[in-house]
Amino acid sequence: MAKIKGAIVVDIDGCKGCGLCIEACPVEVISLSDNVNVKGYHYSYMTDPDACTGCSNCAIICPDGIITVYRIKI
Amino acid sequence: MAENAITTKELVKKENLVYQKTKLLTDDVMHYCPGCGHGTTHRLIAEIVEEMGIQSEIIGVAPVGCSVLMYNYMNFDMQEAAHGRAPAVATGIKRLLPEKYVFTYQGDGDLAAIGTGETIHACNRGENITMIFINNGIYGMTGGQMAPTTLIGMKSSTTPYGREVSLAGNPLNMTDLIVNLPGTYFVSRQSVHTPGNVRKAKKAIKKAFEYQSLNKGTCFVEVVSNCPAGWKMTPVESNKWLAENMLPFYPLGDLKVPEE
């Protein structure tokens, strides 16, 4: 069976740490970082790259449009 | 397995790209609070304009409210209007330049309070414009005061014990009023609190832009949105509150669809 692997790239300094992407992710691969970005927000990042399916839910819900999604069939 | 050896670094290539921020939004960081539905709706409009290929043919009218600086984020022509007067300004633009796509983007304090007259008359005249109405039940920009759309019992900075009908009257459901006007062609109510609803909202807004070229009347889309700062909640909590409290009073769906 073909497997789908995805990845997200977060524009760290654009992130406001609202956490909507974490709620929207069906496979729970996104978390808020312990570190803060240039504006002082805890930014979101991909904790478990192997589980990401590239469904784009996080990018679609992101109010600031800072998530870029990549997907490949392997 | 060899397939699993693909690392994230190898995956992040142009040919594997499935979603990125549209070029029709400028690189300016939006001033909205974290988790605000305005940003999502701005992005939907920019994506639709890009998909329809009408970047040079569209003119937006920005309101007064949180989205007053919308022209900073949109990479196409925008016009600022006085508080509540966006439909009147859009009427003028559309009548002078009938071949352009013209839309207004207004919040509930703008469209449903000070601009009620302009809104109702523009819809009643059937101006060929698209109106996007962001309803978060509160005046977000000025500090969370009660708006006409504030729900009964909902707390705001001017109704700290919750809105009472005896004192503040009933909430105003603008879209239900507008749907009865003969000038409207397409009326829909959507929300942006889950990815599924964002996809539906995008479809509805796209229809509202496409129908404008038919010159059949006003296309009106209400977007029920959150206001985490005004509601004093986290963004995730505010979206849950929206689904539990706003949606029963503002049910989603297409209220008026053109007959095929």
Q: How far is CA B139 from the centre of its chain?
A: 15
Output the six-digit token pair for A36.
Answer: 């803060």
Q: What is the pLDDT of residue A2?
A: 73
Which H, E and C letters describe chain A, residue by residue?
A: CCCEEEEEEECHHHCCCCCHHHHHCCCCCEEEEEEECCCCCEEEEECCHHHCCCCCHHHHHCCCCCEEEEEEEC
Are B239 and A17 in contact (CB < 8 Å)?
no
B2 touching chain A per CB within 8 A = no
How far apart CA B138 and CA B38 sit, in angstroms, is 13
Task: Quote the Cα angle for B81-B121-B152, to 5°.
Answer: 85
Q: Above pLDDT 70, what percent of chain B?
A: 98
Interval B41-85: pLDDT, tens: 999 999 999 999 999 999 999 999 999 999 999 999 999 999 999
Q: Which residues in chain A are contacts of B235 at CB distance < 8 A? A: 18-20
Interface-testing mutation among A60, A62, A68, A69, with chain B (most B C-beta atoms within 10 A): A60
The mean pLDDT value for B231-259 works out to: 95
Q: Which residues lie closer than 8 Å to B35 by C-beta, 6 or more apart?
A: A16, A18, A19, A20, A63, B226, B228, B234, B235, B236, B238, B239
Output the six-digit token pair for B37.
Answer: 């539905």
The mean pLDDT value for B80-103 works out to: 96
> pLDDT at residue B1 above 60?
no
The mean pLDDT value for B114-143 works out to: 95
> pLDDT at residue B10 above 90?
no
Q: How many CB pairs under 8 A join A and B?
A: 98
Q: Which residues in chain B are contacts of A41 at CB distance < 8 A? A: 34
Q: Exposed/middle/buried for B54, CB within 10 Å: 0-12, 13-18, 19+?
A: middle
Judging by DSSP bridges, how do beta strands B145-146 and B138-139 pair with one another?
antiparallel
Total domain count, chain A: 1
For residue A64, the enclosing domain spans 4-73
Are B195 and A57 in contact (CB < 8 Å)?
yes
Q: What is the pLDDT of residue A3?
A: 84
Q: Which of B12, B25, B198 has the CB atom closest to A7's CB atom?
A: B12
Nearest chain A Cα to B200, which residue? A60
Are A24 and B195 in contact (CB < 8 Å)?
yes
How far apart CA A65 and CA B44 sit, in angstroms, is 10
Q: What is the pLDDT of residue B11?
A: 84
What is the residue extent of each domain of chain B?
A: 32-256
Cβ–Cβ under 8 Å, residues B92 and B54 = no
Q: What is the pLDDT of residue B2?
A: 47
Give the residues of chain A that fall short of pLDDT 70. 1
Interval B150-192: pLDDT, tens: 999 999 999 999 999 999 999 999 999 999 999 999 999 999 9
Nearest chain B Cα to A69, which residue? B19
> pLDDT at residue B13 above 90?
no
Are B43 and A65 in contact (CB < 8 Å)?
yes
> pLDDT at residue B4 above 60?
no
Are B39 and A19 in contact (CB < 8 Å)?
no
Domain covering B32-256 in this structure, CATH number? 3.40.50.970
Are B21 and A66 in contact (CB < 8 Å)?
yes
Q: What is the DSSP string of B124-149?
A: HHT-S-EEEEEE-SEETTTTSEE-TT
What number of H helices and E strands is found in chain B?
A: 11, 10
What is the average pLDDT score of chain B? 93
Q: Which residues in chain A are contacts of B36 at CB distance < 8 A? A: 63
